[in-house]
């Protein structure tokens, strides 16, 4: 076992030099129904199979196994400043609710391997649904509730769910967002039709039920109040879930995860990285629609025997409908939160308020605040670190990795953080920096390269792209000529102490308030407008959101450009279109109209040059540009406003 005296360096080295022994040791952190007989099968790179022969269950590890020692301890703490609800479920109560949900899903015909799409606000029933799927071996596909019908429809078609679990509505900033009409429209748009839709009626918005398809959770729950649904023992390599993420094409990728490797990865990260201990409380402010929600609202804390807070609402909203910029800190005090996880954007929102709010509550339980999802700028890190008086731990990872790739593992050895750097490679990750063009490994400090991983990737990492092994290999593992390495599509540098600094994406993915969006998806939505001929969307630096989307559209009828009122109306229409297709998260900050877009001679859009112009930077080498006037036009549009 790892002794407390072991340095992180030695711990990391062991994970790289003796991966089987290292990961066999970590596997002891969870319960196995049947022991595995092979730790890591890497016979067919880049595919990795962890813990072959072993059988386990995520729900068992998150819920059932804690009943022996902590049945009456808090497990799920649901707090909504939108509806004023606050309810704690003990492990015993969670066990009961999950079985009711599992029985309901089974009654709707869901079997092992079937997909269940979850399109829900942050309510306890969403957690029951995820855990119930894990319990019966169904594959859950959670779609972020902020996405609209178009995004949802493409995910329904890709996941082909037997059942969709949803609700009448969510609520944001006190405003009800009806989910049911968005869902009905998505089902109308999709080729695949689910057999049933299970709906939680929060009584926030009226719902028209489709006879024979729509079922109310209230009714099914009532029929299964005493349900006993044992955990289905699953092969370690069985798929636990898929989660969609944006890439450079318009079609989102279903990131697919296994069961055993994921459970071990989370249990290990809770111990070594988050230093979370059974009986304590964890608070992640993310959403179940994102990977952080999967790993560190639901599975990670529960596997570690911790209570987890599920919070619906803004960071500045009180339980009584009034503003409260200290709501999160009130929850930290009330539930004695020891570890908290959020995103830099959320901190930047809080930064606009009175810093005294950070001192209003007793935060003595809190040991650290973890931030991830986008670059953490130094002023934001310093502000929150000074205000809270606890270490701020930046951690870098992706939907694909499932758990942090770069950070510091204070649970192994207390390691200093450096402002601006997420930290050092985590155990199990073979991180390298490669030269963009030649693919040569960069070994000197402070050289800029692409952050890549050599296989085998550690437990918890994506298995493949759902139903598309070729896309997994071609997208992620073939971007560097002559080398089979996983590309993160992020630029990075490493300093002389081995700390990495992330410098942004190498591809056309943008990061708005910690939400990852593909510019292609936004472009596809906008170019669907009948008056638009062509469009380019780029991410532009923003003080609050990190980045915002900016669109430049060419109209079919250039004469419209002369009509100020018409273009203003059109801009509004286009934004509404993006809201309807993808959701307000993807709405561009501005849509500007031009007569041509800058392209290379081979017709490739010069998004990086457009972005540079928008940010007032030098547009770089433009020797391959076809029409310099097009870029000048963008420069003029940007400086005119």
Please report, as ranges, the residues that interact with ligand AMP according to CB under 6 A: 245, 291, 372-376, 394-399, 422, 488, 490, 502, 505, 511, 516
Question: Of 56 and 488, which CB lies nearer to ligand AMP in the complex structure?
Answer: 488
Tokens encoding 1: 């076992």
Question: Nearest distance from residue 499's CB to ligand AMP, in Å?
Answer: 12
DSSP string over 343-398? -HHHHHHHTTS-GGGGGSS--TT--EEEEESS---HHHHHHHHHHH-S-EEEEB--
- Kindly report the number of other CB atoms within 10 A of residue 634's CB atom: 24
Question: Of 298 and 319, which CB lies nearer to ligand AMP in the complex structure?
Answer: 298
Question: Nearest distance from residue 31's CB to ligand AMP, in Å?
Answer: 29
Question: Nearest distance from residue 291's CB to ligand AMP, in Å?
Answer: 6
Question: Of 56 and 399, which CB lies nearer to ligand AMP in the complex structure?
Answer: 399
Question: Of 137 and 428, which CB lies nearer to ligand AMP in the complex structure?
Answer: 428
Tokens encoding 587: 């709405």
**CB-CB contact of 251 with 271 (8 Å):** no
d(CA 496, CA 503): 17
Q: Is the peptide bond before 361 cis (omega within 30 degrees of 0)?
A: no
**CB-CB contact of 177 with 170 (8 Å):** yes
Question: Of 502 and 536, which CB lies nearer to ligand AMP in the complex structure?
Answer: 502
Pairing of strands 163-167, 115-118: parallel
Question: Nearest distance from residue 462's CB to ligand AMP, in Å?
Answer: 10
Question: Of 289 and 459, which CB lies nearer to ligand AMP in the complex structure?
Answer: 289
Question: Nearest distance from residue 372's CB to ligand AMP, in Å?
Answer: 5
DSSP code, position 138: P
Look up tokens 């991983």; give the residue. 453
Question: Nearest distance from residue 510's CB to ligand AMP, in Å?
Answer: 9
Question: Of 308 and 399, which CB lies nearer to ligand AMP in the complex structure?
Answer: 399
Tokens encoding 83: 């509806």
Question: Nearest distance from residue 461's CB to ligand AMP, in Å?
Answer: 13
Q: Is 438 exposed, middle or buried (0-12, 13-18, 19+ CB in 10 A)?
A: exposed
Question: Of 26 and 488, which CB lies nearer to ligand AMP in the complex structure?
Answer: 488
d(CA 482, CA 434): 12
d(CA 199, CA 194): 13
Q: Is 218 exposed, middle or buried (0-12, 13-18, 19+ CB in 10 A)?
A: exposed
**CB-CB contact of 226 with 245 (8 Å):** no
Question: Nearest distance from residue 276's CB to ligand AMP, in Å?
Answer: 19
Question: Of 398 and 417, which CB lies nearer to ligand AMP in the complex structure?
Answer: 398
Question: Nearest distance from residue 30's CB to ligand AMP, in Å?
Answer: 24
Question: Nearest distance from residue 517's CB to ligand AMP, in Å?
Answer: 9
DSSP string over 513-529? TTEEEEHHHHHHHHHTS
d(CA 464, CA 471): 8
Question: Of 391 and 528, which CB lies nearer to ligand AMP in the complex structure?
Answer: 391
Which residues 6+ apart lie within 8 Å of 363 measured at CB? 329, 332, 333, 388, 389, 390
DSSP code, position 39: E
């Amino acid at each position: 076992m790892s002794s407390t005296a072991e340095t992180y360096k030695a711990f990391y080295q062991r994970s790289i030099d003796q991966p089987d022994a290292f990961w066999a040791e970590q596997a002891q952190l969870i319960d196995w129904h049947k022991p595995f007989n092979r730790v890591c099968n890497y016979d067919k790179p880049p595919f990795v199979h962890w813990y072959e022969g072993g059988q386990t269950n995520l729900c068992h590890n998150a819920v059932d196994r804690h009943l022996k020692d902590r049945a009456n301890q808090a497990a799920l703490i649901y707090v909504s400043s939108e509806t004023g609800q606050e309810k704690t479920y003990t492990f015993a109560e969670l066990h009961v609710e999950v079985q009711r949900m599992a029985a309901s899903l089974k009654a709707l015909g869901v079997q092992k391997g079937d997909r269940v799409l979850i399109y829900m606000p942050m309510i306890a029933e969403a957690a029951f649904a995820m855990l119930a799927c894990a319990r019966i071996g169904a594959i859950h596909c959670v779609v972020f509730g902020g996405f609209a019908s178009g995004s949802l429809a493409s995910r329904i078609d890709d996941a082909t769910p037997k059942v969709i679990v949803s609700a009448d509505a969510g609520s944001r900033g006190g405003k009800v967002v009806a989910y049911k009409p968005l869902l009905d429209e998505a089902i109308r748009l999709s080729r695949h039709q689910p057999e049933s839709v299970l709906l939680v009626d929060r009584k926030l918005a009226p719902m028209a039920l489709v006879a024979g398809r729509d079922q109310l959770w209230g009714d099914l729950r009532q029929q299964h109040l005493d349900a006993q649904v044992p955990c289905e023992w699953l092969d370690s390599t069985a798929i636990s879930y898929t989660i969609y993420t944006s890439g450079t094409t318009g079609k989102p990728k279903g990131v697919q995860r296994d069961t055993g490797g994921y459970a071990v990865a989370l249990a290990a990260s809770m111990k070594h990285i988050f230093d979370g201990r059974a009986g304590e409380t964890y608070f992640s402010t993310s959403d179940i629609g994102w990977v952080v929600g999967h790993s560190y609202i639901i599975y990670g804390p529960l596997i570690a025997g911790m209570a987890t807070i599920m919070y619906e609402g803004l960071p500045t909203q009180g339980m009584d409908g009034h503003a409260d910029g200290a709501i999160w800190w009130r929850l930290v005090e009330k539930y004695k939160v020891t570890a908290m996880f959020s995103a830099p954007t959320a901190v930047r929102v809080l930064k606009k308020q009175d810093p005294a709010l950070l001192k209003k509550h007793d935060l003595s339980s809190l040991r650290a605040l973890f931030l991830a999802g986008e670059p953490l700028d130094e002023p934001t890190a310093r502000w929150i670190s000074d205000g809270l008086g606890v270490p701020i731990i930046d951690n870098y990872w992706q939907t694909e990795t499932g758990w942090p790739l770069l950070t510091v593992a204070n649970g192994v050895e207390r390691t200093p953080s450096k402002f601006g750097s997420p930290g050092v490679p985590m155990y199990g990750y073979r991180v390298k920096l490669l030269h963009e063009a030649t693919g040569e490994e960069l070994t000197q400090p402070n050289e800029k390269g692409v952050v890549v991983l050599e296989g085998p990737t550690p437990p918890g990492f994506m298995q493949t792209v759902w139903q598309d092994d070729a896309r997994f290999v071609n997208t992620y593992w073939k971007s560097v000529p002559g080398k089979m390495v996983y590309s993160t599509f992020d630029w990075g540098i490493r300093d002389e102490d081995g700390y990495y600094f992330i410098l942004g994406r190498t591809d056309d993915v943008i990061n708005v308030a910690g939400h990852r969006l593909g510019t292609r998806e936004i472009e596809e939505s906008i170019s669907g407008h009948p008056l638009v001929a062509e469009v380019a969307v780029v991410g532009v630096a923003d003080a609050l959101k990190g980045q915002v989307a900016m669109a430049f559209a060419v109209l079919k009828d250039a004469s419209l450009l002369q009509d100020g009122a018409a273009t203003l109306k059109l801009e509004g229409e286009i934004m509404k279109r993006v809201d309807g297709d993808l959701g307000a998260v993807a709405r561009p900050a501005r849509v500007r109209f031009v007569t041509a877009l800058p392209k290379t001679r081979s017709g490739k859009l010069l998004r990086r040059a457009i972005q540079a112009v928008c940010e007032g930077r030098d547009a770089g080498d433009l020797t391959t540009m076809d029409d310099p006037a097009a870029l000048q036009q963008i420069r003029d549009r940007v400086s005119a406003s």
